[in-house]
Each structure stands twice: as C-alpha cells, then as structure tokens.
Amino acid sequence: MTRDPSQPPFLTGERLVLRPLVAADATRDYLAWLNDAEVLRYRAPKALPTTMPQLRAWIASLPGRGDLVLAIRTKRGDRHVGNIALNTILWVHRSAELSIMLGAADARGRGYGREAIALLTAHGFASMGLNRIWAESPNPAFNRAVASLGWRREGLKREALLVDGKLVDVVCWSILAREWKKRGR
C-alpha cells in the first residue's frame, strides 16, 4: 500500500521512515502479522486471533490513548514492515515504555529494529523531554539491539512469559537521557 499522503514522515533514518499509524495501515498484511506464530512468539497477547474489525478499532483508538505509535516504513519501496511505540508515557515522571513489532518476515534480521529503536529513543529524549525510556522482552534479537544502543539491563522477570511451551525469563532494560547523550546520539 502506498503511503497516506496526509501522513508525512515524522522521523527519518538512514533506511526507515517512522510516521503515525493510520486507518489505511489496517491491511491484510498487518492483520497477518497479528496472527503469525513467529510474530507472536515473544509477545504476551497471543492466545486469541485478531480480526480486521479489532485491528481497525485499535488503530482508531490511538488518538485517545496518549501513546506515540508509529508505523515503520522502508524508504526504499515505502513498505510498512512494523510498528514502534512509546507507551505508558508518564509525563510527570518523564518516562515511557518502548515497544516494537517487526511484522514483515523479510524485515527481520536486517537492523531495522535497531534503527527504529534509535530513532524513537533520540526523539523521546530530544523532543519529548523524557528522562527514562524502558522496555522488557524475552526476545534475544530485541535484547541484542537495545544492548548495542547502550541500554542497561535492569533486571529479570523470572519465568514471566510462555514461549514455545516453556516459561521464559523477560529481560528488563532502560536508558536515561544523559546516558543516550553521552553516547553521542
């Protein structure tokens, strides 16, 4: 699907553009991601299928949620390959949770997640005035990406998520604005 011209790029990286998620993004491909066992492997909501009406309703609810949810699109081909968000934004405490989903199978393992995380982390600190961004995941690829960007491991939620029939640990991460700035980002 071609980019919605009413939604210009919000953040631009070397290979990616992040822009607001809109109704036009509720495509069959996106719905397929939400029902794909590999995409759901490291995600908590995986026990029930997602329908197109549910996907559309979730996208429609975004403006009232107070989260910053962005579509991850490739510069080359303008293809929607996933989403990234700052959720649970606590303005008084200047913190937010980062979450990401790379849905397109051929987009995984290419550094897109790392690039999107770096773009949104920089934006959270420079433009939103956040002091702390945190995340948690059992996904080894996510954990490698944030570690390579200077995020610090804060702890472990033991046996917190069911993955491939086994309860696995979830690694908790964060980065502070001063740590990000010190890295020269």
Residue at 110 is within a domain: yes
Which run of H or of E encompasses 119? helix 112-126
Residue at 106 is within a domain: yes
Range of the domain at 117: 11-131
Residues paired with 147 in a beta bridge: none
Residue at 151 is within a domain: no
- pTM here is 0.92
Query: Which residue, among 68, 59, 63, 72, has the nearest Cα to 128 in the 3D structure?
Result: 68
Instruction: Work out how many domains the chain is built from and give that number.
Output: 1
Residue at 112 is within a domain: yes
Which run of H or of E encompasses 144? helix 140-148
The answer for 184, left when phi > 0, alpha when psi is -120 to 50, beta otherwise, is left
Rounded to whole angstroms, how far apart are CA atoms 8 and 17?
9
Residue at 54 is within a domain: yes
Which CATH number characterizes residue 67's domain?
3.40.630.30
Residue at 70 is within a domain: yes
Residue at 169 is within a domain: no
18: which residues sit within 8 A by CB, 6+ positions away?
A: 9, 10, 11, 12, 70, 71, 72, 73, 84, 116, 119, 120
* Full pLDDT tens readout for the chain, 185 residues: 444 555 778 999 999 999 999 999 999 999 999 999 889 888 876 678 999 999 999 999 999 999 999 999 999 999 999 999 999 999 999 999 999 999 999 999 999 999 999 999 999 999 999 999 999 999 999 999 999 999 999 999 999 999 988 999 999 999 999 999 998 74
